[in-house]
Amino acid sequence: MDYLATNFRRMSVSKALQQSMLFILLLSSLLLPAQAADEESFTLNLKDADIEALISTVAKKTGRNFVIDPRVKARVTVISSQAMSGNELYEVFQSILQVHGYAAVPAGDVIKILPEVNAKQGAVPTITNGQGMGDDLVTQVIPIRNVAAAQLVPILRPLVPQQGHLAAYSGSNIIVITDRASNISRLADIIGRIDRPDNDEIESIQLEHASAPELVRIINSLSQGGNKGAEVDTPQLAADERTNSILISGSKAARDRIKKLIASMDTPLEQGGNTKVVYLKYAKAEDMAEILKGVNEGQKKAAEAAGGKAAAATVSSDKEVDIQADPGTNSLIITAAPDALRNIESVVRQLDIRRAQVHVEAIIVEVSDTAARELGFSYLFANENGFDNETNPVGGALLGGGGDVINGIAAASTGDGSGASVPNGFTVGFGDRDNSGNVFAGILRAVASDTEANLLSTPSIVTLDNEEAEIVVGQNVPFVTGSYTTASSGANNPFQTVERQDVGVTLKITPQINEGDVIRLDIEQEASSVVESSVASGQLITNKREIKTSVMIEDGQMLVLGGLIDDQTRKSLFKVPLLGDIPLLGRLFQYRTNSNDKRNLMVFLHPKILRDRLSADATSQEKYQFMRGRQREAGDIKPIFNVSTAALPPIAVYDSSVVDGEALGKRSNQGEVKRISGEAQESETSQEAAADGQ
């Protein structure tokens, strides 16, 4: 081709050297024939040549096989003034491809010539340090040892061409780069200069007089206030309360600057400056003072036991501690040496924390069913004066119940009584008197009674962790414990001694919150009631159900404490001897009673931990809305007179994102409760107001 200006020539050597070299070349050609092509040198000069012609020439001179992508189209110009070896010729060839946006990607025994945009998605070889040559398109994984790999990506991204690839993997802290080998070598050198151990060190400064947390707070506030402009070398500070020391991390100049500042502030207090007032947030000052005094006394005794009286005297003189409580401000006035004062403050901070609360709900369920049956006859024979004169003969068969009724019938038959009261059930009575004054009375009674009861009590109470609490819901009932009567007409007056006792539901608990939200509960639960049938006689009888136990229960779990399942069956037969045993006819001389009592009693427990305002507020709102709904249901029953009844108002809604104590629901000047929840709740309030007006 005319436009292909290629001039290949052999280098000239002297004649003697030529003969020697010819012998060596012949010998080497027999041993290493594959090296003949590499030992030749070439010059390459092209002007506006087709790239396919260049690829063909390189393939002939280097012995490599190429596969050309159809999209590879270009005209190239190369000017060479010096001879090149085969490897140098291939490097020049790769540079020509890069200039025109193409790349040579090895694929087995062939080399694919592709557009550079698609080349990185092919089988690009992965190399280690120094393996890449020139403009080879390769991939290299560079491990990062001292800095985060992701932090280097913004620095290196502008140095990688658009066709290249740069990514960081935080898991192994590595960087993956796909680009020309020469550019990767340059990036690796930059990474090596950045990825070096930090010269910042950590120093610990032991304080003698000042408080480490307070000093760190002051220095940090100064640093934050002075860094509004350009970035400066700001060290990091942390306080170790246990050793009263400050940890400093940063450059040497920054550390020296901070150490100089700390030295100027860590000075002894003036005379009389060892007294400090500590305001408590949650604990009671009196209780805290007692605890701290006990700790101080324990330290003195330990020092005396370890070093004798001399050591104890030294401790007493150097570390005399005086702690007083001020209930009005709930604070402690502490007088002590600086190191002892810091130790006491550390103890106070650890003890003065918000304690969790426990909401305990007991569920007492009692279901009872009583069924009774009575059937029988009763007879009475007597003289008409037998009711006033006990010496007159009286006889009969009083079987089972109905004694008062048959006596009333007999008295009515003589004209001495007004009649008998009719008891419950089916009762048939008759009576008569003959001319001799003899009275005869009889009664047939059939009674069936069924009594069912379903009692449910749910006392609940809230208390602090490890604090005892008690709730009593019931009546204070008087019980007669003794009496005094006199038959004389003296000045002494009869009297009775009365003891009042609580009858109702009593719940007493002491919770202890353990690890994993497990609650230990010491609980005493009692449910008592007065038997109604004993009220008329004046001898009060109480039913009492009591449980006293200690349990372990998870937060929010339902646990059965105990119970009673009682089933009693009673059968009674009253009969006249001999007569009551006569078949069929003997039923007239019998009185039968059957009763069946069933009682099921169970006590359940449901505790819930309230650690903060949000959980306590949620539980309170739940109970409040329940009572408000019950009150509204009761409000549907209108009184005779149209008198408006008091109703619980809707409660304001609090937003959990605001600071504790700041309620978004605030009352307006008209006293209306404004809600945050929107129009739906406001319309609900309007409907409730309209319902109350009706």
Give 249-300 as a 3 state SS string.
EECHHHHHHHHHHHHHHCCCCCCCCCEEEEECCCCCHHHHHHHHHHHHHHHH
Q: Residue 610 pLDDT more than 90?
A: yes
**Sequence letter at residue 40:** E
Q: Do 174 and 82 belong together in one domain? A: yes
CB 298 within 8 A of CB 344: no
Q: Do 262 and 286 belong together in one domain? A: no
Q: Print burial letters for 606-633: b (CB count within 10 Å at least 16), e (below 16).
A: bbbbbbeeeebbebeeeeeeeebeeeee
Q: Do 430 and 390 belong together in one domain? A: yes
Q: CATH number for the domain including 123?
A: 3.55.50.30
Segment among 202-216, 371-385, 570-584 with least mean pLDDT: 371-385
Q: Residue 227 pLDDT more than 90?
A: no
Q: Residue 228 pLDDT more than 60?
A: no
Provide the pLDDT for residue 161.
81
Q: What is the DSSP string of 197-238?
A: ----EEEEEE-SSS-HHHHHHHHHHHHHHH-SSS---PPEEE
pLDDT class of 253 with cuts at 50, 70, 90: confident
Q: Do 50 and 133 belong together in one domain? A: yes
Provide the pLDDT for residue 635.
67
Q: What angle do CA 318, 320, 324 make, to 5 degrees?
A: 155
d(CA 553, CA 520): 6
Share of the chain above pLDDT 90, in %: 10
Q: Classify residue 210: in a domain, yes or no.
A: yes
Q: Classify residue 561: in a domain, yes or no.
A: no
Provide mean pLDDT across the span 352-366.
89
Q: Do 331 and 377 belong together in one domain? A: no
List of residues 6+ apart from 563 with CB closer than 8 A: 600, 601, 602, 603
Q: How far is CA 313 from CA 307, 319, 393, 685, in A?
A: 10, 10, 102, 73
Q: Do 190 and 248 belong together in one domain? A: no
pLDDT class of 15 with cuts at 50, 70, 90: very low
Ordered alpha helix ranges (H), 32-148? 51-62, 86-99, 116-119
Provide mean pLDDT across the span 285-299.
88
d(CA 685, CA 671): 14
Going by DSSP bridges, is the β-strand pair 137-143/126-127 parallel, antiparallel, or unpaired? Answer: parallel
List of residues 6+ apart from 271 with CB closer than 8 A: none
Q: Do 158 and 83 belong together in one domain? A: yes
d(CA 416, CA 252): 122
Task: Give the residue, 649 or 48, on which the prediction is more confident.
Answer: 48
d(CA 519, CA 466): 10
Q: Classify residue 311: in a domain, yes or no.
A: no
Task: Give the residue, 96 or 9, on which the prediction is more confident.
Answer: 96
Q: How far is CA 581 from CA 45, 577, 585, 589, in A?
A: 145, 7, 8, 9
Q: What angle do CA 511, 516, 517 make, to 5 degrees?
A: 35
Q: Classify residue 530: in a domain, yes or no.
A: no
Provide the pLDDT for residue 661.
39
d(CA 361, CA 559): 11
d(CA 343, CA 276): 13
Segment among 275-289, 300-314, 512-526, 651-665 with least mean pLDDT: 651-665
Q: Residue 606 pLDDT more than 70?
A: yes
Q: Residue 613 pLDDT more than 50?
A: yes
Give the number of other CB atoms < 10 A from CB of residue 23. Answer: 9
Global pTM reads 0.49
Q: Do 207 and 293 belong together in one domain? A: no
Highest mean pLDDT: which of 119-128, 132-141, 295-304, 355-364?
A: 355-364
Q: Classify residue 377: in a domain, yes or no.
A: yes
Highest mean pLDDT: which of 22-26, 31-35, 222-226, 234-238?
A: 234-238
pLDDT class of 30 with cuts at 50, 70, 90: very low
Q: CATH number for the domain including 249?
A: 3.30.1370.120
d(CA 665, CA 649): 13
Provide mean pLDDT across the span 664-683.
37
Q: Residue 296 pLDDT more than 90?
A: no
Residue-wise pLDDT tens digits, 485-543: 665 555 566 777 778 888 888 889 999 999 989 999 999 988 888 877 666 666 777 88
d(CA 397, CA 34): 142
Tokens of 64: 């490599």
Q: Do 59 and 142 belong together in one domain? A: yes
Provide the pLDDT for residue 29.
41
Tell me, rounded to whole angstroms, the distance of Cα 114 from its chain centroid. 59
**Sequence letter at residue 127:** I
- Helix-then-strand count for the chain, H and E: 13, 26
Provide the pLDDT for residue 657.
45
Among the listed residues 250, 260, 249, 261, the one whose alpha carbon sits nearest the alpha carbon of residue 218: 261
Q: Which residue range is the domain that position 242 belongs to?
A: 199-215+236-266
Q: Residue 324 pLDDT more than 80?
A: yes
Q: Do 49 and 186 belong together in one domain? A: yes
181-194 and 149-156 helices, crossing angle to 10°: 130
Q: Residue 447 pLDDT more than 90?
A: no
Q: Residue 283 pLDDT more than 60?
A: yes
d(CA 303, CA 288): 23
List of residues 6+ apart from 294 with CB closer than 8 A: none
CB 158 within 8 A of CB 204: no
212-226 and 252-265 helices, crossing angle to 10°: 120
Total domains present in the chain? 4
Q: Do 418 and 324 belong together in one domain? A: no
Provide mean pLDDT across the span 637-654.
55
Q: Do 175 and 297 belong together in one domain? A: no
Q: Residue 51 pLDDT more than 80?
A: yes
Segment among 399-408, 557-566, 604-613 with least mean pLDDT: 399-408
Q: Residue 634 pLDDT more than 90?
A: no
Task: Give the residue, 240 or 6, on which the prediction is more confident.
Answer: 240
Provide the pLDDT for residue 281.
92
**Sequence letter at residue 19:** Q
CA-CA-CA-CA torsion sign (478, 481, 486, 491): negative
pLDDT class of 551 with cuts at 50, 70, 90: very high
Q: Classify residue 185: in a domain, yes or no.
A: yes
Among the listed residues 278, 384, 288, 280, the one whose alpha carbon sits nearest the alpha carbon of residue 336: 278
Residue-wise pLDDT tens digits, 366-417: 888 787 777 777 766 666 555 444 445 555 555 555 555 555 555 555 555 5
Provide the pLDDT for residue 677.
36
Provide mean pLDDT across the span 60-88.
80
Going by DSSP bridges, is the β-strand pair 438-457/426-433 parallel, antiparallel, or unpaired? Answer: antiparallel
Q: Classify residue 460: in a domain, yes or no.
A: no
Highest mean pLDDT: which of 83-92, 141-150, 457-466?
A: 457-466
Q: What is the DSSP string of 337-352?
A: -HHHHHHHHHHHHHHS
Q: Classify residue 74: in a domain, yes or no.
A: yes
Report the largest interatomic distance among the alpha carbons of the chain, rounded to a whole angstrom: 186
